[in-house]
Amino acid sequence: MVRYIFITGGVVSSLGKGLAAAALGALLQARQYKVRLRKLDPYLNVDPGTISPYQHGECFVTDDGAESDLDLGHYERFTGRPANQWDNITAGRVYRDILAKERRGDYLGATVQVIPHVTNHIKQFILEGNQEYDFVLVEIGGTVGDIEGLPFFESIRQLGNDLPKNSCIYLHLSYMPYIAVSGELKTKPTQHSVKELLSIGIQPDILLVRSDREIPLEERRKLSLFCNVRFEAVIQALDTHSVYDVPMAYHKEGLDNQVFDAFMIDPQSNPDMEIWEDISYRLHHPEGAVTIAVVGKYTLLKDAYKSLIEALVHGGLANHVKVNIEWVESDVFELEDPSIYLSKMDGILVPGGFGERGSEGKIRAATFAREHNIPYFGICLGMQMAVLDAARNLAGITDAMSSEFDPHSKSRHHVVGLLTEWLKDNKIEKRNEDGEIGGSMRLGCYPHSLNPRSHIAKIYGNCNISERHRHRYEVNIDYKKKLESVGLVFSGISPDGLLPETIEYSQKMHPWFIGVQYHPELKSRPFAPHPLFKSFISAAREASLMR
């Protein structure tokens, strides 16, 4: 029998429901259960692909090309199970599908309403495709009380009656603030949050209470009494040194045992926490440190680079070092000398991004790394900017540009151009610059071949790889010969030979300089660091030791 755990949040947003769901999924896996995690988002966008990183953080891309919520990244990193397009749905997607059915006449003349049509659609999404799993964890985005979330809360309320007895529970994540003036932790916000849940017919089985300090027993008893939750099921969720300490912390507090109690089942085995114990030990006992400059466009909101941050941490775990990140907004290099910021760095990483702002600064960062032999890792736009550096400063194409920044000029050399067609599953995908923006990029996993003599092939230990993409501009293959004549190696090409996927300089020219068109950070795991991040941090460590 499939069992469902519905995870809701209250009091304030950004409490970490996704992280809590991912950590609980990891604990269930540690007892040999098969787990699936899914996210319901109440906003009206069809997906987060067109939302600014400043508003929504990172847009996480799955193997099958879905632009999804960043919480799916947590799910993958903690469980190792690749997410797909059926693991995240938004209110926008729900209403789009329902209106399409209505236009086709699928409702046979019925008046289409939130109940039952919207709620039935949400319930169908939750229940489909779960036959092979023991537990399905469903996170509801936003905060209880948000008006746009009501159809989703109503749907999981109905499922509490629809599903067999003891096959679903409700876990509510709340917040207990500390009032410094009075020296008290306050239970009232959580009481009101649970009351809001009760008003729509949902009684939480477990309370997971976020706090920055130990919650006294008396406050836990008070929450138990006023929220109608068993005392043992009031679990404190304290701040931790790292997100990878959370599974161990939740296990210590008894969260997994309370889940089994709520389902009235005996766990099939004792948890095997060896992986998480090892990760925690490495985090707390590094054998050194490296400093990486991340030269980006959205550095004011770190969630815009969530998977990137975690992949760097994973690279540190693999090399037994702590990774310190220096955030640099790329447009400062358009006014100031990069050496002020970059000369003492052990490595420079230029991530993806969109738009002209800060692009010249990213090119200057690539130039500085190349000229000063600092390990350089360019991802997506970071690769394209490294190519423009080579074109301008080595190949003599002084007006080299991307058509993303200069679309109407006919006189300049567009070394990077708009991608209008590509091969996917043996079919031609076509786009044009006047089409819709949403879902129009080259998205998801694509295979490509690496030059067996290249540095990157040695790092992977394989010449045939598949990585996740999210871009609509591409390096122009017509400039390959010219750029290779000055030392830039096109080390990875798409199967049809038309799309450059990776570039590098030979190790004779530079100790570690690699650019990739894809996003390797999306496939990195703490227990399986991505080879490129593992190698990049290793190179940074060598640079640090030589400094």
Res 485 pLDDT > 90: yes
Same domain, 257 and 295: no
Q: Which of 69-73, 246-250, 310-314, 434-438 has the lowest mean pLDDT?
A: 434-438
For range 517-541, the mean pLDDT: 97
Which CATH number does the domain housing residue 141 bear?
Answer: 3.40.50.300
Tell which residue, 466, 467, 445, has the closest CA to residue 85. Answer: 445
Same domain, 170 and 189: yes
Res 410 pLDDT > 70: no
Same domain, 254 and 309: no
User: What would the pLDDT profile of 41-73 be if each residue is shown by its tens digit?
Assistant: 999 998 888 888 888 889 999 999 999 999 999
Element (H, E) at 416: strand 413-418
Same domain, 330 and 426: yes
Report the alpha-carbon distance of residue 248 to residue 241 in Å, rounded. Answer: 12
Global pTM? 0.93
- Of 260, 279, 298, which residue is a domain's last? 279
pLDDT at 428: 64
Kindly write down the DSSP assignment for every residue of 285-331, as one continuous string: S-S-EEEEEEEES-TTSGGGGHHHHHHHHHHHHHHT-EEEEEEEEGG
- Of 247, 279, 311, which residue is a domain's last? 279
Same domain, 266 and 404: no
For range 116-130, the mean pLDDT: 95
Domain coverage including residue 503? 286-546
Same domain, 291 and 274: no
- Of 245, 279, 313, which residue is a domain's last? 279
Same domain, 167 and 29: yes
For range 462-483, the mean pLDDT: 92
Report the alpha-carbon distance of residue 71 to residue 55 in Å, rounded. Answer: 15
pLDDT at 425: 66
The band of 544, judged by pLDDT with boundaries at 50, 70 and 90, is confident
Strands 442-450 vs 488-493: parallel, antiparallel or unpaired: antiparallel
Same domain, 497 and 512: yes
Q: Which residues are CB-contacts of 363 (< 8 A; sequence separation ≥ 6)?
A: 385, 388, 389, 392
Same domain, 238 and 297: no
Same domain, 325 and 267: no
pLDDT at 53: 84
Number of domains comprising the chain = 2
Same domain, 183 and 305: no
SS3 363: helix
Catalytic residues: 380, 519, 521
Same domain, 239 and 338: no
Which CATH number does the domain housing residue 337 bear?
Answer: 3.40.50.880
Res 411 pLDDT > 70: no
User: What would the pLDDT profile of 70-97 be if each residue is shown by its tens digit?
Assistant: 999 999 999 999 999 999 999 999 999 9
pLDDT at 521: 97
